[in-house]
Amino acid sequence: MRRAIPEEIFALLTDCERGLSDSEAAELHARFGSNDIIEKPPGGWRALAMETARDPMLWFLVITSLLFLFLGERTEALVLLVAVIPLVGMDLYLHRRTAASTAGLRSRLASRAVVVRNGCERDVPAEELVPGDLVIVARGDYFPADGILLSAEHVQVDESSLSGEAWPLRKQAVDDGITEGHATSIDSSYWGLAGTRLLTGTATLRIAYTARNTLYGEIVQSALAGGHARTPLQQAIAQLVMVLLIAAATICLLLALVRLNQGYGLIDAILSAVTLAVAALPEEFPVVFTFFLGVGVHRLARRKALVRRAVAVENIGRVSAICSDKTGTITEGRLTLTHTAPAADMEQAQLLRLAALASRNDSGDPLDDALLAEIPQTKKYQLVETFPFTEDRKRETTIVRDERGTLLAVTKGAPETIVALCAIDATTRERVLAETATFAAGGHKVIAAAWQPLPMQEWPGGEPHRDFIFAGLLAFEDPVREGVADAVRECHQSGIKVLMITGDHPVTATAIAREIGLGEGTPDVIEAEALEKQLDSGEKFSLRNIDAVARAIPAQKLRLVRRLQQEGMIVAVTGDGVNDVPALQAADIGIAMGERGTRSAREVSAIVLLDDNFRTITNAIAEGRQLFRNLRRSFAWLLMVHIPLVFSAALIPLMGYPLLYLPIHVVWLELIIHPTALLVFQQLPERGLGQNSQSSRRFFTGLEWLMIVVVGTLLTVVITGTYLRSFADLGDVEHGRTMAIITLIISASMLTAVLSGMKTRMAFIIIGLSLTASILMVQIPSLAALLHLTPLHSDDWGIAFASGLVIALLPLMGTLVRR
């Protein structure tokens, strides 16, 4: 990655000692402002309250609850008020999460800095730094802003928060070629970046960018600006509730006017309208949705997936693409020694011992840690002198004395550099370099080791530069997590696109992609820069054909997520570092690693994996898909029952007959509807990951809507017919009501049996209680009288059960046709 150098900074690049004066700093501060990389996010409690108040579902629940309270239905009013709590709590939680995210992002920034002002070193708050300041960064400190390295002695930097890479990066100071050439941009190896930490050496930094102009600041602004849009299901439910509410109000008003016109009087008109309103109000939909989300949160927690936003339970089942960071997500995020290739006359144990002698315990380099973990015992060697790794030398050399007093020079580093120091023939050199290329193609980081004895009388001091004895090659890798390959295969089989995004070299990316099975073993890997050119050119292509993106930076990850969304995919993004924050924020589902993830990544994510296992993602998707299927069954059942309930309640009075349902009948029916919708369908067993049947943003397909309307309409006709039959033949209003209510209850029970498949104990319990209670309340004369009903004859029960069976056959036949 290359970055532009501000024009005004060029004049200061050749002077490694001159800092700004106080007057210059004050002038630049007035121009560029404070170095506030993390600014306070917009809005406050008042803005939060206004945002919450714009939620139509919230107002619907409150108004409906007040209406039930006015009608004396305190239980219904209480249930709806309780359903308000998670909606308000969600907005409060998102507000708190934004604040926590800001605090997490701040944790990786320097609070103070040592700056040269008026020729003297001064400790100042990092916010006071301005472009042009000369800053001295000590080992272990965070860089306070983005700047160009004027001096860099043995510098290694941890840039994992920005790049996601597991091992430190070597940095170097600008040279004369850059300053004299007046380059417009320079490579990242010359930059010290805010949010990254100096592991080894000391550095002098000329500040070039501050505040939101730093790379870290750009990430922060992207994260804080990200919105929390409503999910498709939330939007669909809000629209459905609003349509049903308007329809109910219109029908209620029409019914009241018609009843008055028919001469039934004001009391009858009001009672008719209020009863219909109670039956028509669709309060079950938001209640069931909230309840199912709570169940999903619990089930995903058992799958070791902690849900931080309940609505993520919906989207996780709709995922059709996963963008996964490589380091720490697909791989373990640590270096391990996996292969050795000793020289012909060298044993593996000797090679490892020599490489460990050229390593340091306090280097902060994971490569040294991996070597010393293999050969920890080197105490019999006395360290005489160390020549640390530098970018120009590309090797590290140590002089040690063994227990016999013999001096040894041991070196390790880039294979091509080490080979050039050794006295070997051309054939051996070509073989070593070929082995190096083979290891590198397998995604390994490769180093070589060499040694030579140094007789005390002849060694003049300094680092040897020739006559080394080649010891062999060592290959390291960041191993793939266990189970990732199986999880990727399951995703492929279920229609989920897996796209690996990494800052690694394309060769490494290809090797890892091949190992986990992307592209069915022949992955299509592209560099992010080349991909961006394709995106900018407007060329027609699809990310569906790409398996991995190499050399990616945070802004490019974010663009990839948005492109996948433009292609109609529901995108999940996995990550663990600050570099992943923008993509996690923009994705439909942000999934953070719980063990290795930074606080910032966890705070902006909807789901946190407690075990950092990629397989847990597929388990969470399977759970989400099953819950989505169960929720659709519950909503389909609600609509199939509500349509005939509302239309029959309106149609009979509009035809001039007495009221079909009295308020007590509506309460009775609601006592059956609520438990069925809440308890029966959410416990249906899982079917595995399966195919992504809900990848579209529509809750029901056109055929499913047709089935719901046909079943609801037919049941309305049946209920109306049974009522009219009793009223016409017997002239008995109570008998007609009883037939209509029992027909509705039996049909609803049979629809429950078909849609649930009777796969849970709760289905048997609910259906059994509904039918048993209905029979008792109708056939016991004293109870029937209290409910304004009358006992039925055997032929009445036969008609009711036959009607329910015919109604239930429709969705059953539809299921068989789909299969």
Angle subtended at Cα 380 by Cα 375 and Cα 383, rounded to the nearest 5 degrees: 90
Distance CA 672, CA 446 (A): 69
- Mean pLDDT of the chain, nearest integer: 80
Residue 315 tokens, joined: 């989207």
10 Å Cβ neighbour count for 83?
21
Which DSSP string do the residues of 692-705 spell out, in sequence order? -TT-SS-SS-HHHH
Q: Which residues contact 643 (CB under 8 A, 6 or more apart)?
A: 708, 709, 711, 712, 713, 715, 716
Quick: pLDDT tens for 333-344: 778 898 999 998
Contact (Cβ atoms closer than 8 angstroms) between residue 576 and residue 596: yes
> pLDDT at position 226, please?
46
> Residue 90 above 70 pLDDT?
no
- Nearest Cα residue to 393 out of 421, 433, 352: 421
Topology of the domain covering 232-304+623-818: Calcium-transporting ATPase, transmembrane domain (1.20.1110)
Q: At 36, phi and psi to the nearest 5?
A: -90, 90
> pLDDT at position 586, please?
84
Distance CA 296, CA 294 (A): 5
Q: Partners of 185 in the beta sheet?
A: 4
Contact (Cβ atoms closer than 8 angstroms) between residue 133 and residue 209: no
> pLDDT at position 44, please?
58
> pLDDT at position 752, please?
94
Q: Which residues contact 328 (CB under 8 A, 6 or more apart)?
A: 164, 166, 576, 577, 593, 596, 597, 612
- Nearest Cα residue to 371 out of 385, 391, 388, 351: 351
Distance CA 304, CA 650 (A): 49
Helix (H) or strand (E) holding 153: strand 146-158
Least confident range from 98-107, 151-160, 182-191, 288-297: namely 98-107
Question: Once rounded to an integer, what is the mean pLDDT over residues 533-542?
Answer: 80
Confidence of residue 228 (pLDDT cuts 50, 70, 90): very low
Q: Percent helix, strand and coil across the chain, each rounded to 5?
A: 55, 15, 30
Q: Which residues contact 654 (CB under 8 A, 6 or more apart)?
A: 254, 255, 258
Q: At 340, phi and psi to the nearest 5?
A: -130, 145
Distance CA 322, CA 329 (A): 12
- Nearest Cα residue to 523 out of 533, 535, 509, 534: 509
Question: Once rounded to an integer, what is the mean pLDDT over residues 524-548?
Answer: 86
Distance CA 207, CA 143 (A): 10
Query: CATH for 2-38+109-225?
Result: 2.70.150.10
DSSP E strand boundaries for 288-425: 305-307, 321-325, 336-342, 382-387, 395-401, 407-413
Residue 132 tokens, joined: 């042009």
Residue 424 tokens, joined: 């070997």
Rounded alpha-carbon distances, angstroms, from residue 409 to 204, 358, 453, 468, 651: 31, 9, 6, 8, 98
Q: Give CB contacts under 8 A, 24+ apart, made by 530-534.
A: 531/556, 531/560, 532/556, 532/559
Quick: pLDDT tens for 475-493: 998 888 888 898 898 888 8
Which of 627-657 are b and which e, b meaning 16 or more Cβ less than 10 Å from the residue's Cβ?
bbbbbbbbbbbbbbbbbbbbbbbbbbbbeeb
> pLDDT at position 773, please?
92
Q: Which of the residue ranges 52-61, 283-292, 372-381, 499-508 has the most confident prediction, judged by mean pLDDT? A: 499-508
For 449-484, what is the HEC assignment?
Answer: EEEEEECCCCCCCCCCCCCEEEEEEEEEECCECCCH
Query: CATH for 312-333+481-612?
Result: 3.40.50.1000
Q: Is 304 helix (H, G, I), strand (E, B) or coil?
A: coil
Confidence of residue 105 (pLDDT cuts 50, 70, 90): low
Which DSSP string do the residues of 237-286 spell out, in sequence order? HHHHHHHHHHHHHHHHHHHHHHHHHTT--HHHHHHHHHHHHHHH--THHH
Quick: pLDDT tens for 573-609: 887 766 677 788 888 888 887 666 665 666 677 787 7
- Nearest Cα residue to 317 out of 623, 701, 691, 5: 623
Quick: pLDDT tens for 157-215: 887 666 555 567 788 888 766 666 566 678 878 899 888 889 888 899 999 999 888 87
For 580-610, what is the HEC assignment?
Answer: HHHHHHHCCEEEEECCCCCHHHHHHCCEEEC
Higher pLDDT, 294 or 490: 490
**336-477: CATH class:** alpha beta
Which of 382-399 are b and which e, b meaning 16 or more Cβ less than 10 Å from the residue's Cβ?
eeeeebbbbeebebbbbb
Distance CA 7, CA 27 (A): 17
